[in-house]
Amino acid sequence: MESSSEIIKPQQKRSIKRFEKVLETAEYILKSDSNYSLTIQDVAKISGMKRPSIYKFFPSNESIVDALSEKHCLKLINLIKKNLENVNYSNVSEHYKIIIDVSAIYINQNKEIAEVLFTKFAEDLLSTAISKEISRLSPNTKPIKNQIATQMFLSSLYSGFKSEKSISPAFLGESKRACLSYLSN
């Protein structure tokens, strides 16, 4: 998975700590007020870091959001892989049921920052990773079909989240039905 071209990943231990501190502060700000517009100035103020130190890794507000998106996407992808690890199904529909459930649970457990999972950057990361995982588990499924099924359920989960600020059982059920119906054709 490739991160945003703007994010400069640190290599040294001290720089990695600063990088992580910026992400922790950004997440703190978003959890405090999810409608807040994240700025480097506010991250610097709250974290106690100087703005030039932040600009070294994050040249824009959007690059901080991208890095936070990547962090949470990786967590979600790892949870999905872990949940699919011991599954012996060969049916792609069963894999998608698990993926959709795990995604909805993760979103509901991280409501305050869930918006970072619905950026274009995050959508691309998740779509690519999920499609690869499905292709590995169900190699007979066409890649384009995986991609479309993944986009369908991510879009429907986003719709549910936007309207209810969580993924309700009703939206979860409809997301599964739509995705599984598409896969059965």
pTM for this one? 0.85
Q: From CA 66, how far away is CA 6, in angstroms rounded?
A: 9
C-alpha count within 13 angstroms, C-beta hemisphere, residue 40: 16
pLDDT reported for residue 45: 92
The highest-level CATH class for domain 65-184 is: mainly alpha
Query: How far does CA 98 lie from the centroid of its chain?
Result: 16
* Per-residue pLDDT, 34: 60
* Residue 185 CA to its chain's centroid (Å): 28
Looking at CATH, the fold of the domain delimited by 13-64 is given as: Arc Repressor Mutant, subunit A (1.10.10)
Phi, psi of 89 (to 5 degrees): -75, 145
Tell me the pLDDT of the chain (185 aa) as tens digits: 444 457 777 778 888 898 999 999 999 998 887 666 788 999 999 999 999 989 999 999 889 989 999 999 999 999 999 999 888 777 888 999 999 999 999 999 998 888 888 888 888 899 999 988 888 888 888 888 988 999 999 999 999 999 988 999 999 999 999 999 998 88
Give pLDDT, residue 36.
Answer: 64
Instruction: For residue 109, give Cα distances in angstroms to 21, 37, 179.
Output: 22, 22, 23
Cβ count near 78 (within 10 Å): 11
Structure tokens at 180: 């599984």
Give me 153's structure tokens: 């359920």
Q: Note the pLDDT of residue 79.
A: 96
pLDDT of residue 182: 92
What is the residue extent of each domain of the chain? 13-64, 65-184
